[in-house]
Structure 1
Amino acid sequence: MPATPPDYEVLIVGAGISGIGMAAHMEMLCPGRRYAIVERRENLGGTWDLFRYPGIRSDSDMHTLGFNFEPWKHEKSIADGPAILEYLHRIVDERGIRDHIRFGHKVVSADWRGDEARWHVGIELADGSTTRITARFLYLGSGYYDYDEPYDPGFDFGEFAGRVVHPQFWPEDLDYAGKRVVVIGSGATAVTLVPAMAERAGHVTMLQRTPTWMFSRPAKDRLANFLRKILPEELAYRITRWKNIKLQDIGFRRARTRPEKVKAFLHRRIRKVFGDAPYDPADFTPPYNPWEQRLCLVPDNDLFEAMKRGDAAIRTGRIARFAKEGVVLEDGELLPADVIVTATGLRLAIAGKIAFSQNGTPVDFAQRYYYKGCMFSNLPNLAVVFGYLNASWTLRADLNSDYVCRLLNEMERRGADVAVPVLSAEDEAALEDDDIFDFSSGYIQRSKHIMPRNAVAYPWRLNQEYVSDRKRMAQDPVDDGIIAFGQAGDALAGGNKQRQLEAAE
């Protein structure tokens, strides 16, 4: 065992919502611990700093996308990117987190050394040089998608004479005022971009191969704003947060059990907005049930209103080719365009694309089981955040941060260097696998081969039920008979499954 302690007790990867949330929980629940956040970019915020396209906003309400410990104080519940960044900056400054952030630090590798009971983390600095940081515990708040490469459907833009941009790399010099724009895609990014660009563009067409279920709601939560006037800020926030959690949970369950009724409900809302204005219901009728992919939020009916004004339109069809003047569909229709925006989706990345190894042996996360949606089978001192597909990302981030802090405190109480969810080969063979990623979304389906495994039985799974997760994570003891604690150099730290099982017993 090394005579010197690791550089940090906890190293947090990523200064977005997940990483900032973990740091805030450490300040509250593990005060005095040595920790740092390493962030590859030069600014905090993660997604909310990377994406700069027009209209960038949350597709969840900020009373659930906000943290459980920090009330959302803005009037709008559906917030734009700058407002979310302001919220994160305020938390970082008020809670003393900023001094712990190391910007321009890209994690490229992480090797667990059992004889030392610490992670050796390879860092690439902004100037191209490299360094190494050691940490007792590693917490991944690096998100779920590839920052460097969005999904590329393989378009050949051929003769197209205009400009092609992707929302993930929005150019600052793009002037689309008065121009004809075609946005390819029908997901949350496209639904956000179209009405925002329509305010300045000559016309915007959303070209979709497949429609998406859309749900409109006011950007302002009237109950939340009323409660803030009559109740203390934190109490009003807690009530609104729980109200929105329950409504979302009820809506999701209803969509799964009575999809035809939910379809009819969503169509009624759209029909009410359009009134006598012409529109094609087929453009809003996907070939799948609601919540088999995420519903697209349309705050204040902004997309529908842009269509009613004639500033925007939706076309459903397949692309035949790209001509000089725009996009030619398979039915022969030409969609004229000066600018094409490829809102074609994300490419998933597991564990921040970091090269993980365990005592020098590469780790294949596709062969590891999730443990409580937070850790991985037989992998010591590592936690991760992968948010809910059917609810706000931060709900999971809050649960995992709280759990890891309690785990760290239990390790300190025991004088342990190592904490690992032990899954023996025999028990693993008895597990029944479950496809929790039964969403038909392209980015999910394209990435299933790299996703960690999930069992039917808890705790070896990444649940998609926040209400039950919240109760389990709060009530189940940290020392649950599965998590085993040990010291540097012993069987648990070494990583061998059978030796882990014997050590745990």
Structure 2
Amino acid sequence: MTEHLDVLIVGAGLSGIGAAHHLQSALPDRTYAILEARDTIGGTWDLFRYPGVRSDSDMHTLGYRFRPWTQARAIADGPAILDYIRATAAEAGIDRHIRFGHRTVRAEWSSAQARWTVEAVHRGETVRLTARFLHLCTGYYRYDAGYTPSLPGIERFGGTVVHPQHWPQDLDYDGKNVVVIGSGATAVTVVPALAGRAAHVTMVQRSPTYTMTLPAEDPIATRLRRVLGVRRAYPIVRWKNITIATLLYQLSRRRPHLVRALLRRAAVRQLPPGYPVDTHFRPRYQPWDQRLCFVPDGDLFAAIRQGQASVQTGRIAEFTETGLRLESGAELEADIVVTATGLRLLALGGITLAVDGRPVALPETMAYKGMMLSGVPNLAFTVGYTNASWTLKADLVSEYVVRLLRYLDRHDLDWCVPANDDPTVTERPLLDFQAGYVLRSIDDFPRAGSRSPWRLGMSYAHDLLKLRHGAIDDGALRFSRRSVAREADPRPA
């Protein structure tokens, strides 16, 4: 007999554990399970094991709204974040609801039955479950492989090549010359982490990225915790950081030249005298066209000042047996090459969707409030902010799902489905973001619309009002009962 649940959550990472916490706290009588493809909790924070792996947002906003972050370091390392997620799951008993080793591959909605039938692969066997509501917390990138561009002559290289997404735990880089290819958050993290033990680390970037130094510990948070206690201090620090991040983003969009000058000035102060800052730390794009790379306590700049690390900007001409050569003619010796070249996106975890026997083509759907799909009933997905902490949006999505389930029950409804009936709404990319990993795959994702509620907002304050307090029945959601569907559909249930 197929097991039936009220809610099925896919993914036991930061979003999935948060979704389960919101659900069972607000609706303790609901049955639910979490399907997790891997064998452990943590998602991204368990997968990534490269040296120095850390958050690229402060933990007072990357942490859950309902569970204060209590450690001193606001920019936390991966193991600390993983412990936080696992402790959250264990304390609430969420870990008892997780089905590990279940890779979700297909989900089909039946209007006649008002339920999803979900197929997952577990130890080579297909497992089927049914659920009234499906909440996908799968993130948006592939776990099995990162992105590596074509690197001419890489097969000739006699050293070790490593992608950070699959870092070998026994890799010995002590006293070795290391080249890190990339300039994004991963490269900016890996370089100073390796610099203390490697002979030298060179970051090779095709073009620069904006970097901004932040204190690893938040002194205001520390003082407030001491005076007010952890629980009362946490929301104050959280809103302080949300406000600062929002103002920085808005200033970047409205006065990009000012922010660009401020970031350049900060880099000059932290680099050696006469350093070619405009060559290596002045991007061609405007601030927040791509995500800023945060540097805790200026560790990247410190490694450069101390001669432990350096930056080379230019295109790679070819690899040699002992390193690589740039188009400028510069030759770099290397024992280890780290390809910090980005992610490969994967929409909704690669799950195949169907509604009443009809396959769902994701690029033909439109994202409602950045969390549901037009024409697809009783399904929510989580995509976080690109200009703020992922969890800020994840918490709001989970809260909205709870509100939606309550609304359905209160009005004796079985399902809801977003419908775009406005011909004046034009399509836009779901993620209006210029990062390479987004541009490579965005056409495989659902589309966004030109205005609310089809536009994916990047304002937490705006989403807070709409998702936590806005009307459920806003004209774009259609509601139905199973009996109505049976009368309209002659097919057997």
Scaled to the shorter chain, the TM-score interval is over 0.9
| Structure 2 residue matching 1:33: 3-state secondary structure | coil
Aligned to 1:454: 448
Unaligned runs of 5+ in 2: none
Give yes or no for contact 1:486–1:493 (8 Å, CA) kept in 2. no
Letter in 2 for 1:290: P
What is the distance in 2 between the residues matched to 1:223 and 1:62? Answer: 14
- C-alpha displacement of 1:484: 2.5
Aligned residues: 488
Q: Would you say 1:341 and 2:367 are equivalent positions?
A: no
Match of 1:118 among 115, 119, 123: 115
Letter in 1 for 2:206: R
CA distances 1:326-359 after superposition (whole Å, capped 9, x unpaired): 0111122111100000000001111100111112
- C-alpha displacement of 1:277: 6.8
Letter in 2 for 1:61: D
Aligned to 1:128: 124
- C-alpha displacement of 1:491: 4.1
Give yes or no for contact 2:114–2:414 (8 Å, CA) kept in 1. yes
What is the distance in 2 between the residues matched to 1:475 and 1:33? Answer: 22
Give yes or no for contact 1:418–1:492 (8 Å, CA) kept in 2. no
Give yes or no for contact 2:429–2:443 (8 Å, CA) kept in 1. no
Give yes or no for contact 1:10–1:135 (8 Å, CA) kept in 2. yes
CA distances 1:118-138 after superposition (whole Å, capped 9, x unpaired): 11111111x222211111110
Q: Would you say 1:286 and 2:283 are equivalent positions?
A: yes
Aligned to 1:503: none
What RMSD in Å do the two structures reach over aligned CA positions? 1.7
What is the distance in 1 between the residues matched to 2:400 and 2:305? Answer: 48
- C-alpha displacement of 1:318: 0.4
Aligned to 2:36: 39
Alpha carbons of structure 1 residues 318 and 492: separation in structure 2 relative to 1, 3 Å: farther
Aligned to 2:472: 478
What is the distance in 2 between the residues matched to 1:144 and 1:176? Answer: 31
Letter in 2 for 1:303: L
Q: How does 1:405-416 map to 2 (within 5 A)?
A: 405-416=402-413
Q: Would you say 1:71 and 2:68 are equivalent positions?
A: yes
What is the distance in 2 between the residues matched to 1:438 and 1:77? Answer: 28
Aligned to 1:196: 193
Alpha carbons of structure 1 residues 494 and 162: separation in structure 2 relative to 1, 3 Å: farther
Identity percentage of aligned residues? 50
Aligned to 2:216: 219
Aligned to 1:145: 141
- C-alpha displacement of 1:94: 1.1
- C-alpha displacement of 1:60: 0.3
Give yes or no for contact 1:58–1:79 (8 Å, CA) kept in 2. yes
What is the distance in 2 between the residues matched to 1:334 and 1:105? Answer: 47
Q: Would you say 1:159 and 2:156 are equivalent positions?
A: yes
Give yes or no for contact 1:277–1:308 (8 Å, CA) kept in 2. no
Q: Would you say 1:7 and 2:4 are equivalent positions?
A: yes
Aligned to 1:443: 437
What is the distance in 1 between the residues matched to 2:305 and 2:11? Answer: 42
Letter in 2 for 1:484: R
| Structure 1 residue matching 2:427: 3-state secondary structure | coil
What is the distance in 2 between the residues matched to 1:229 and 1:27? Answer: 32
CA distances 1:258-283 after superposition (whole Å, capped 9, x unpaired): 11110110011111122537454320
CA distances 1:199-233 after superposition (whole Å, capped 9, x unpaired): 11111000000100000011000000110000031
Give yes or no for contact 1:12–1:35 (8 Å, CA) kept in 2. yes
Alpha carbons of structure 1 residues 490 and 215: separation in structure 2 relative to 1, 3 Å: same
Letter in 2 for 1:89: R
Alpha carbons of structure 1 residues 81 and 136: separation in structure 2 relative to 1, 3 Å: same
Give yes or no for contact 1:487–1:493 (8 Å, CA) kept in 2. no
Q: How does 1:220-369 map to 2 (within 5 A)?
A: 220-274=217-271, 276=273, 278-369=275-366
| Structure 1 residue matching 2:385: 3-state secondary structure | coil
Letter in 1 for 2:97: H
Aligned to 2:55: 58
Give yes or no for contact 2:112–2:486 (8 Å, CA) kept in 1. no
CA distances 1:14-45 after superposition (whole Å, capped 9, x unpaired): 00011011000012111120000110111110
CA distances 1:45-97 after superposition (whole Å, capped 9, x unpaired): 00000000000000000011011111000000000001101111111111111
| Structure 2 residue matching 1:430: 3-state secondary structure | coil
Letter in 2 for 1:242: W
| Structure 1 residue matching 2:119: 3-state secondary structure | strand
- C-alpha displacement of 1:451: 2.1
Give yes or no for contact 2:430–2:447 (8 Å, CA) kept in 1. no
What is the distance in 2 between the residues matched to 1:280 and 1:31? Answer: 56
Bigger shift: residues 40-49 or 411-420: 411-420
- C-alpha displacement of 1:494: 8.3
| Structure 1 residue matching 2:156: 3-state secondary structure | coil
Give yes or no for contact 1:6–1:136 (8 Å, CA) kept in 2. no
Match of 1:28 among 6, 9, 25: 25
Aligned to 2:482: 488
Q: How does 1:346-425 map to 2 (within 5 A)?
A: 346-424=343-421
Q: So what's the TM-score if we normalise by structure 1?
A: 0.94
| Structure 1 residue matching 2:9: 3-state secondary structure | strand
Give yes or no for contact 2:366–2:374 (8 Å, CA) kept in 1. yes
- C-alpha displacement of 1:474: 2.2
What is the distance in 2 between the residues matched to 1:85 and 1:339? Answer: 28
Q: Would you say 1:185 and 2:182 are equivalent positions?
A: yes
Give yes or no for contact 2:267–2:277 (8 Å, CA) kept in 1. no
Alpha carbons of structure 1 residues 494 and 423: separation in structure 2 relative to 1, 3 Å: farther
What is the distance in 2 between the residues matched to 1:493 and 1:463? Answer: 38
| Structure 2 residue matching 1:212: 3-state secondary structure | coil
Give yes or no for contact 1:112–1:118 (8 Å, CA) kept in 2. yes
What is the distance in 2 between the residues matched to 1:152 and 1:122? Answer: 31
What is the distance in 1 between the residues matched to 2:50 and 2:135? Answer: 29
Letter in 2 for 1:148: D
Alpha carbons of structure 1 residues 277 and 77: separation in structure 2 relative to 1, 3 Å: farther
| Structure 1 residue matching 2:397: 3-state secondary structure | helix
Q: So what's the TM-score if we normalise by structure 2?
A: 0.96
Give yes or no for contact 2:212–2:294 (8 Å, CA) kept in 1. yes
CA distances 1:297-333 after superposition (whole Å, capped 9, x unpaired): 1000000001111110010010111100101111221
